[in-house]
Structure 1
């Protein structure tokens, strides 16, 4: 897909991967709308983005609510004059043992990580069809490929988002709308600040700019997926497919330390 001149909506674009992706796409000549539920943070992000490119706007809205989704689509299309790419990036996480996690926090994860992208994509499809060369980009997670203990619900939402994207790609095949799924690994973003797990527990972190650059390459190549983590991640994915019991044993050895390191990981 040609990015120059493309009209792109990025949810959760005021920080982290979304903000890095906005910078990368603007550098390629795209027109971008970023959304966020915190008006002050969004305003600061848009101000920073406008220093490098004028064709960027912000929409303050919570995509986890029906009103927020409606405002997001309506205002983005008005500002951009149409829509070529929807990036479903907004997300939230709450780690910890399932039985110790409040139901409200579980439902909040499901709403923002899975329900919101599905319904936002549904609402955007008429505008994407008008483009003739459009794309939906879903930001899943490496945990969608290898389920990690203490992230059961988060893994479920991200795996659900990935399967949603695969099925939708096939549903829209030949209709001018492609679907790409990205699987970031540990990324140095505000969402990860309360996670104290390090590389020894499987949580290496790379810059958000590196993840964004890989996603941009995937968009330009009309790729099906972008998986971060290099050879080590590829080997773990293969092991999880061929010998999941070995992965179970590996996590068993880390479980106590991992539980302590992620028990306060929350970004909802």
Structure 2
């Protein structure tokens, strides 16, 4: 897909991977609307994106709510006159043992990481069909491919989003809408600031810009998925499929240190 002139809605676009994707798409000539819950971040993001030389619009909205989803889509259509690409990027995480995670935290992850992208996609489909060359990008996580201890709910909802993407891609095949799933690894974003897990625990962080660049390449190649983490991640995925007990043992060794490092990891 050629991004020049494409009309794009990016949820969670005020920082991190969403903001990097906005930069990358605008540099290819796309017209972008970003959403976010934090007004100050949206203002900073808009100013940073305008420096790129293109206009950008921002919608302050929480896509985990029906009103936020409706407003995001309505304002996007009003500004852009249509929609070619939807990027479901908004997300939240709360790490820790399942029995230490509150029901509100669990429900928040389910709502923002899984329910919101499904319902926003449903609402956007008529407009993506009208485009004739539509694209849906769902931002999952490497944890959706290899479940990590202390991320049980997050792995569950991101894994659900990944399978939603796969099923929807097949449902829409031949109908002018493609679906691509992005699997970032540990990324240097505000969402990761409260995590103390580093390279020694397998959380080597890469810049959000690198994730966005890989996504742009994937879009250009009409890829089904973009998985970050290189050869190391690919080997772990293969091992997790063929010999999951080996991954269990690897996590068992680092489990105490990992639990301590992610105890305070929260971005909801």
TM surpasses 0.5: yes
Question: Which residue is equivalent to 1:196?
Answer: 196
How far off is 1:53 after superposition?
A: 2.5
Question: Which residue is equivalent to 1:241?
Answer: 241
The answer to whether structure 1 residue 109 and structure 2 residue 109 are counterparts is yes
How far off is 1:39 after superposition?
A: 1.3
Tell me the number of residue pairs that the alignment of Structure 1 and Structure 2 aligns. Answer: 268
Give the Cα–Cα distance (whole angstroms) in 2 for the partners of residues 202 and 124 of structure 1.
37
How far off is 1:261 after superposition?
A: 0.1
How far off is 1:54 after superposition?
A: 2.5
Question: Which residue is equivalent to 2:173?
Answer: 173
Report the secondary structure of 1:226's partner residue: strand
How far off is 1:44 after superposition?
A: 1.2
Q: Deviation string for 1:133-167 (max 9, x for gaps)?
A: 00000000000000000000000010000000000
How far off is 1:40 after superposition?
A: 1.5
The answer to whether structure 1 residue 226 and structure 2 residue 226 are counterparts is yes
Report the secondary structure of 1:14's partner residue: coil
Q: Deviation string for 1:171-204 (max 9, x for gaps)?
A: 0010000000000000000000000011111101
Question: Which residue is equivalent to 1:91?
Answer: 91
Report the secondary structure of 1:158's partner residue: helix
Question: Which residue is equivalent to 1:158?
Answer: 158
Question: Which residue is equivalent to 1:61?
Answer: 61
Give the Cα–Cα distance (whole angstroms) in 2 for the partners of residues 80 and 218 of structure 1.
24
TM-score, with length taken from structure 1: 0.99
Give the Cα–Cα distance (whole angstroms) in 2 for the partners of residues 127 and 18 of structure 1.
21
Give the Cα–Cα distance (whole angstroms) in 2 for the partners of residues 228 and 130 of structure 1.
32
How far off is 1:95 after superposition?
A: 0.0
Question: Which residue is equivalent to 1:25?
Answer: 25
Report the secondary structure of 2:179's partner residue: strand
Give the Cα–Cα distance (whole angstroms) in 1 for the partners of residues 172 and 231 of structure 2.
31
Report the secondary structure of 1:123's partner residue: helix
Question: Which residue is equivalent to 1:5?
Answer: 5
How far off is 1:83 after superposition?
A: 0.2
Question: Which residue is equivalent to 2:206?
Answer: 206
TM-score, with length taken from structure 2: 0.99
5+ residue gaps, structure 2, are none
Query: Alignment RMSD, CA only?
Result: 0.5
Give the Cα–Cα distance (whole angstroms) in 2 for the partners of residues 75 and 220 of structure 1.
27
Give the Cα–Cα distance (whole angstroms) in 2 for the partners of residues 54 and 171 of structure 1.
34
Instruction: Find runs of 4+ consecutive structure 1 residues off by over 2 angstroms.
Output: none
5+ residue gaps, structure 1, are none
Give the Cα–Cα distance (whole angstroms) in 1 for the partners of residues 221 and 74 of structure 2.
29
Question: Which residue is equivalent to 2:14?
Answer: 14
